[in-house]
Amino acid sequence: MIPEPLSRVVSLLSRLPGVGEKSAQRFALFFAFAGPGLAAELGRALCQLHELVEPCSRCNNLAERSSEGPTVCEICRDTRRDDALLCVVAKVQDLFAIERSGAMRGRYYVLGKLLSPLDGIGPDELPLQALSDRVRGGVREVIIATPPSVDGEATALFIARELSALGAQVSRIASGVPHGGDLEFADQVTLGRAIDGRRSVDVP
């Protein structure tokens, strides 16, 4: 029904996370009718992505590649942050989410993966040595912010055990009922953790 070049674009776009075939077709048609300027600009930006962006040498967050010395992201360059507080996340998207909350003013370390026996990812696949070196550099508290999934919990427990001998306090982010959520729709694990993580009410 559609020309082969357009079909090829739809096929490529549908490989993006969260983009189905209908959305990919809508995007491709938009570019087809928008004129060559936007498509060319997007193409140049995508081609330059791997040339100009790479993981931060300190935390594995994405950063603009430096032509002079190691690549360091904006968060690691921020001198206003607490060097003694380190938040460990599974992926860069998790770092972005925590940053949007404004609740974390320390540093980060991105693991890049979680323990997953089904996917063949064992303890040796995690960058534990680099993380341990960061902690030995004067970290007071390590906040493990892996997702509340089976793999996330296993990774959090493994990291906590490995870092417990380094002198830093190791904590885990709390999980519970989301703001605005109804208790009747919450699962048992979420409700149990919400009860276990209860705190006192400060009455003015």
Residues 191 and 96 in one domain: yes
Whether 69 is in a domain gets the answer no
Whether 105 is in a domain gets the answer yes
Number of domains observed in the structure of the chain: 2
Per the DSSP assignment, residues forming a β-bridge with 85 are: 141
What does the pLDDT look like over 16-28, one tens digit per residue?
999 999 999 999 9
Q: How many angstroms separate the CA atoms of 23 and 120, rounded?
A: 32
Whether 16 is in a domain gets the answer yes
Quick one: which of 88, 89, 54, 48 has its CA closest to 71? 54
Residues 89 and 174 in one domain: yes
Predicted confidence band of residue 84 (pLDDT cuts 50, 70, 90): very high
Residues 17 and 93 in one domain: no
Tell whether the model's pLDDT for residue 165 goes beyond 80: yes
Residue 149, C-beta contacts closer than 8 angstroms, at least 6 positions apart: 114
Residues 28 and 87 in one domain: no
Q: Are the C-beta atoms of residues 146 and 131 closer than 8 Å to each other?
A: no
Question: For residue 24, what are the domain limits?
Answer: 4-34
Query: The CATH number of the domain where 127 resides is what?
Result: 3.40.1360.10
Residue 104, C-beta contacts closer than 8 angstroms, at least 6 positions apart: 85, 87, 98, 143
Per the DSSP assignment, residues forming a β-bridge with 172 are: 144
Residues 15 and 116 in one domain: no
Whether 66 is in a domain gets the answer no
Whether 56 is in a domain gets the answer no
pTM for this prediction: 0.85
